[in-house]
């Protein structure tokens, strides 16, 4: 009887290991909210008030993970900045490519030469082997009196080859109130001005000239 139980246990263990091995080889493009300021690092929060971060897990065929941004004005999508930076994926033993790290974005508000609101963005792609940072500036055609971030609240998964996934954003207004916001087009239609950052898988040539 004990011998039979041992054989059954071994069979179940092998099935479990096979299942885990298969799952680890499947394509995936997943982002998970990450808290920037915890523990001792909480003391730095007042120096970087508007910032967000996500953990990224990618396995697929594309050569890089890039950052793009959508600019919404009066509830309509006005501009897409498709090449704002990224990180090259690495080839794996099974022929796919992978990148596991964090994408971090921060924004500082100031005024441009016309006296309108200006938002200077810094994005960082970080993994164990190193990091790459990029800067970008967005100019609004008005003076904003209030602004606030649009965070990612829960884990999101999209197609590793075709999908784009929103990871963080900022909304601003020249009015006195801001709406509670998410990344859905229905909610973004309520914004006065907003910039939404997304990650997408792409080929390496999309990053040429950005660094």
- d(C-alpha 37, C-alpha 160), whole Å: 29
CA–chain centroid gap for 178, Å, is 23
9-47 pLDDT, tens digit per residue, is: 444 444 444 444 434 578 899 999 997 756 666 555 555
- Specify the residue for token string 């995936």: 28
When pLDDT is averaged across residues 138-149 and rounded to a whole number, the result is 93
Of the candidates 64, 61, 80, the residue with the CA atom closest to the CA atom of residue 72: 80
- Mean pLDDT across the chain: 83
Residue 78 has pLDDT above 70, yes or no: yes
95-116 pLDDT, tens digit per residue, is: 899 999 999 999 999 999 999 9
Q: Binning pLDDT at 50, 70 and 90, where does residue 48 land?
A: low
Query: What does pTM read for this prediction?
Result: 0.82
Q: What is the pLDDT of residue 4?
A: 52
């Amino acid at each position: 009887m004990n011998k039979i139980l041992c054989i059954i246990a071994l069979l179940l263990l092998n099935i479990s290991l096979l299942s885990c091995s298969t799952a680890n080889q499947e394509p995936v493009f997943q982002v998970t909210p990450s808290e920037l300021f915890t523990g001792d690092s909480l003391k730095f929060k007042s120096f970087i008030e508007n910032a967000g971060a996500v953990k990224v897990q990618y396995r697929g065929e594309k050569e890089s993970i890039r950052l793009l941004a959508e600019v919404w004005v009066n509830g309509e999508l006005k501009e897409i900045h498709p090449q704002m930076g990224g990180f090259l994926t690495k080839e794996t033993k099974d022929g796919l490519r992978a990148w596991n790290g964090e994408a971090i974005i921060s924004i500082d508000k100031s005024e441009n030469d016309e006296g309108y609101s200006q938002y200077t963005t810094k994005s960082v792609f970080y993994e164990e082997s190193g990091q790459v940072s990029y800067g970008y500036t967005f100019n609004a055609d008005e003076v904003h009196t209030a602004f606030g971030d649009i965070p990612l609240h829960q884990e999101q998964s999209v197609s590793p080859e075709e999908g784009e996934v929103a990871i963080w954003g900022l909304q601003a207004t020249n009015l006195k109130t801001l709406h509670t916001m998410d990344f859905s087009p229905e909610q973004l239609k309520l914004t006065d001005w907003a910039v939404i950052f997304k990650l997408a898988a792409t080929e390496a040539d999309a990053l040429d000239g950005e660094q």
